[in-house]
Structure 1
Amino acid sequence: MLLYCVLIPKSNHPSSKPYEPEPAQDFLDAYRYQLATMAYAAGVTHYHRMPVMRSLFKPLIRRLIHKILRREVWGNWYLTSQSESVVEPDIKELRKPWADPIVQENVMYSAHLLLITSIYAMLLIMTSLRSPEKAILKEMERNGWVGVCCEPNIVFVVCNQFPLIAMRYNDVRDGTKVIDGVLDKYRAALESKNMIANTELFKDWLVLKQDHTRGAKDCGFTAWAASFIDTWNSDFVKSGYKAHSSGFITNINGKFELQHPMVADEQGQWTHMDPFSENSAIGYARLNVEDGQKKMWEAPWTKDVIEKMPWVDGLDLSSEVDCLRGIWDASAQWLVTTLREWADRGTHVNFAVRNLPSNSWFLYEPRAGVVRRELANGVEIRVEAAVEALQEIDFLVSKA
């Protein structure tokens, strides 16, 4: 599923000429999709692969939130809000435009803003931003619960998955049960419009006022939507994988290949790379784990979980090291961090391991050997070390 989630149809990006980004932020390479997927990649990596590396992921996700709030990301909505005959065939004159990108429609932006901030709040015990959630719920109800429009009068299945996940995280954090009622009504509305099926590709979109759907020409929107529907309806998604991927992904002797005419020339060589796939989607697919979003849906971090988890403070993306591992094993009572210097000039790291239970702890450093520390509650273990050029180095803190 993650493999063909990054597929962009060749019909939209002709291989006969270089790919040119769409400057008005109206297409699938828009900043909002790139930034959101970067944040989702950071979220799944923190949750599944490096849960103790809080000081690395907190500023990273926060900066992505700041970027998605920039005007060049959402400013296109003022013109888009006027609508047009392509999305509203019966329109006689343009609507009066508005600039607010979350108050009505435009779930292609508000959904991602909501989920990014909800992931940030869930993983890092921060205040969640629920104002987009209220606007989205109001729009869903207005549309009979089939979803919120992206462009005026057009409802996409894929864009409406992100706010559902955000509602789940916010419910767990705030002790509410918003998603329970919403999910039942949303599922019923999708089925009544025949928007999704496990025997054929999902409908690309619903033309709301005219009440008709657009059939899929390729697997792109189905793949994107199914990757996130997997959170709350995993059995359905997996039962449709064979039908959805047929003709688009092949498995020949254990080697998976994308359908060549979609992304490559007749020799199977890729002839273009779009910004969304290159900058974010491939990274997200590589960093995620099987059922990664589903596992986060089923067991989001709570305040109690985070407050009991030891974590590393003082390492971030400016430290001139890659963090390859950062995990805490509660049953074995050890924490390990693996770093690798990447600038090929050597560096010095200085970080702390915080929130360890009161006890005696051994710190294993490659050069210093074993150091024993007695910790009272709230006291940290400080680690300082030189890392040679391109060196990979482990630091282990273990209960004595």
Structure 2
Amino acid sequence: MGSIASPPCPISPSSYPSLTREQAGHLRHFHNLAAQLDGSWHHMGSQEPLQEFLDAYRYQLATMAYAVGVSHYHRQPLLRSVYKPLMRRLIHKMLCRDVWAYWFNTSLGGVRTDPSRTSLRTPWANPIARENIMYSGHLLLMVSLYAMLFDDNEFEKEGSIVFNWDPLFFGLGPEKFTYDTASLEKAILKEMERNGYVGVCCEPNMVFVVCNQFPMIAMRYNDARHSTNTISTLLPKYQDAWKAKGGMVRSNGLFPDAWLEVQDHVLSASDPGWTAWAAAFMNTWNSSLIRELYPKQSEGYLTTIDGETRLHPTAVGNAIRALVADESLPANSEATLAKARDIVRKANAPPGFPYSKPLLAYIVMWLSELGRTAELTSLLAYTDAHLNPTWEKGGLYYPRHDIITSDFKSGADMEMEWTHMDPFAGNAAIAYSRLNVEDGQKKMWEHPWTSKEVKERVWVDGVSLADGVDFLRGVYDPDVGEGAVVMSMKCWNESVRSVRVKPVVKGLGAGKWSVWVGGEFVRTDEMGKGGKDAVELDVEVSQEMVDVVVVREA
């Protein structure tokens, strides 16, 4: 008698989107960085040694967390046990003293942020108490995102966010500052109120538009989670406060860089950096304005010529904008670009600020959120061709390079092609731009996951990036038959023949669930009614992608 043929798999995993090699490599790099021992910051060192500038640890860690968030929410909602420990580890790193200790010195103030200052302030170590939204705002979004995505109240418990201040050779003894999500949010709201709702200071005396977007997104998640209405009350006050300062949009079409508290003066932007960064996250609550402004805000700084999008140094971008305004030249023209470069070259202006703003980082995040796929794809292709993409332990990053422009043909600084790479872009922002989707932040704002949704979701436990496996698919499709789980994995390490992983599929409804691994039928498990409560698997994963499919029978 012939053997009974195994039933064929009823669905094709390839019909579901898979992470690209680059996307999986970025997530692996996050894991590699987050897994370092505390105090080790390999690949994360910044231009400014005291962590005060824009490529500091806090910006890298926060943006990695946001990339983890959009990847889990939009691409792989099944893989809770993959994303949760990664985000938890990034939050742990964010709470390390290395990340926030800069504030003690920054709190002294100085003439660079307040030209009227003639003496320094008495410093304080607590990074939350006042000002410093450039840290506290990102931290609030990280812990709020964690709670929303994983229905975990760890940081909502009293005293769960701890800052230990105990310098070795100065001070009068250790200090400990404790918060939780609610008290952290309350501290930020108190500062917003103190400044008339125009926003919380980053550095002393300076309120930046961009840095205040992150805590407002966090407040939206917390409102959805706890049925409060903080953000709906705050946003009108915030908008009115900026109207009173002359409006959020300045005459050049860009958002203001900052408001000086003591001088009551608004600093207009002279480059697109903080406008792009703000727009990438303001798209959550002000999307119509963000999309309306994109052409004017990007003009000159980004050009698309013969199908290739290029990012230009600020001086070149401003020269293009002037040529468009004064001579009606087309912005996206090789001739206009050449003329603008010649203007900058002849001006031979001396370098200004000692550190270079991570402009590329802000631009690619902006393009990603607005779904400017052609421009983003072209700019990332340029980045991959010229800015040294590097693979290490299965992770993809772009190593730091401080020179802003050069001529690739001769090495002379003449053609002004972009070459700058900071660790914020190279470790985090480029990754974010690849893992995000169009309106990724906006969709999360409009529909944050509720506790009920997370509790009722089918999900996978028992696996993580620490297993040495990249997870390329991870979705539950309720519209296929009676429900289907699709998961695809691949071992990243070519020196290892294979690894074994033991995923556990949880949250399945009652009924019979059939399992296929690598296209081969494995078994059928009965869920509920005295049967199992999860499908437990033991899968060998090699360098060839293996698919796991679990389907409920009709």
**Fold-level match, TM-score > 0.5?**
yes
Give the TM-score taking structure 2 as reference length. Answer: 0.67
Task: Give the Cα separation in 1 of the matches to 2:276 and 2:62.
Answer: 17
**Percent identity between the two aligned chains:** 49
Partner of 1:355: 507
Question: For each residue in 1:10-30, what CA deviation from the matched residue of structure 2 results, as whole angstroms up to 9, or x when unmatched?
Answer: xxxxxxxxx962111110111
Larger CA deviation: 269-278 vs 299-308? 269-278
What residue number does 1:257 align with?
310
- Per the alignment, residue 127 of structure 2 pairs with 101
Whole-angstrom distance in 1 between the partners of 2:96 and 2:102: 11
C-alpha separation in 2, matches of 1:368 and 1:223 = 48
The more displaced of 311-320 and 261-270 is 261-270
Q: Distance in 1 between matches of 2:418 and 2:243?
A: 37
Counterparts of 1:341 and 1:328, CA distance in 2 = 22
1:310-325 correspondence to structure 2 within 5 Å: 310-325=458-473
Selected match of 1:393 from 546, 550, 554:
546
Match of 1:113 among 135, 139, 142: 139
- Contact residue 312 and residue 353 of structure 1 kept, 8 A: yes
Task: In structure 2, give the amino acid aligned to 1:105.
Answer: E
- Asked if the contact 2:312–2:418 (Cα under 8 Å) also holds between the matched residues in 1, the reply is no
Q: Shift in Å at residue 143 of structure 1?
A: 0.4
Question: In the alignment, residue 470 of structure 2 is paired with which amino acid?
Answer: D
1:136 aligns with 2:188: yes
User: In the alignment, which residue of structure 1 is the partner of 2:523?
Assistant: 371
Equivalent residue number for residue 77 of structure 1? 103
Question: How far does residue 91 in structure 1 lie from its aligned partner after superposition?
Answer: 2.3
In structure 2, C-alpha distance between the alignment counterparts of 1:145 and 1:264, rounded to whole Å: 39
Matching of residues 150-189 of structure 1 within 5 Å: 150-189=202-241
Aligned residue number for residue 382 of structure 1: 536
1:45 and 2:193 are equivalent in the alignment: no
Report the Cα offset of residue 180 of structure 1. 0.7
Instruction: Name the CA distance, whole Å, in 1 between partners of 2:536 and 2:405.
Output: 51
The 8 Å contact of residues 114 and 130 in structure 1, kept in 2 or not, is answered as no
The answer on whether the counterparts of 1:172 and 1:300 sit within 8 Å (CA) in structure 2 is yes
Q: Which residue of structure 2 lines up, in the alignment, with residue 5 of structure 1? A: none
Question: Please, which of 240, 255, 258 is the counterpart of residue 202 of structure 1?
Answer: 255
Q: Could you tell me how far apart the structure 1 residues matched to 2:59 and 2:46 are?
A: 17
Aligned-partner Cα distance in 1 for 2:100–2:515: 48
Which of 37, 41, 47 is 1:21 aligned to? 47
Deviates more, 1:123-132 or 1:237-246: 123-132
For 1:272-351, what aligned pairs fall within 5 Å after superposition? 272-332=420-480, 333-344=483-494, 345=496, 346-351=498-503
- Secondary structure of 1:381 counterpart: strand
> SS where residue 148 of structure 2 aligns?
helix
Task: State the distance in 1 between where 2:238 and 2:62 align.
Answer: 23
- The yes-or-no answer on 1:86 pairing with 2:106 is no
Structure 2 residue identity aligned to 1:350: K
Cα RMSD for the two superposed structures: 1.7
Aligned position for 1:4: none
Q: Deviations over 1:344-379 (max 9, x none)?
A: 221111111011011111111126424211111771
Count residues in correspondence.
381
- Give unpaired runs (5+ residues) of structure 1: 1-18
SS in 1 for 2:48: coil
Q: Is the 8 A contact 2:519 2:547 kept in 1?
A: no
| TM superposition shift of 1:131 | 1.7
Provide Cα deviations, 1:248-273, integer angstroms capped at 9, x if missing partner: 11123443221265853245654331
SS in 2 for 1:216: coil
Structure 1 CA distance for aligned equivalents of residues 198 and 139 of structure 2: 20
**CA–CA distance in structure 2, aligned partners of residues 272 and 105 of structure 1:** 30
State the shift of 1:93 in Å.
1.9
User: Which is further off, 227-236 or 250-259?
Assistant: 250-259
Taking the aligned partners of 1:95 and 1:107, their CA distance within structure 2 comes to 18
Shift of 1:201: 1.0
**SS of 1:130's equivalent?**
helix
Secondary structure at 1:331's aligned position in 2?
coil
Deviation for aligned residue 1:217: 1.6
TM-score (norm 1): 0.92
Q: Deviations over 1:136-174 (max 9, x none)?
A: 100101101000000111000000000000000000101
Determine if contact 1:157/1:195 at 8 Å carries over to the other structure. Answer: no
> Secondary structure, in 3 states, of the residue corresponding to 1:240?
helix
- Hey, what does 1:64 align to over in structure 2? 90
Residue 188 (structure 1) shift: 1.2
* 1:124 pairs with 2:176: no
Rounded Cα–Cα distance in structure 2 between residues aligned with 1:218 and 1:92? 30
Residue by residue over 1:199-238, the C-alpha shift from the partner in whole angstroms, topping out at 9 and shown as x without a partner, is 6111111111211111212100000001111000000000
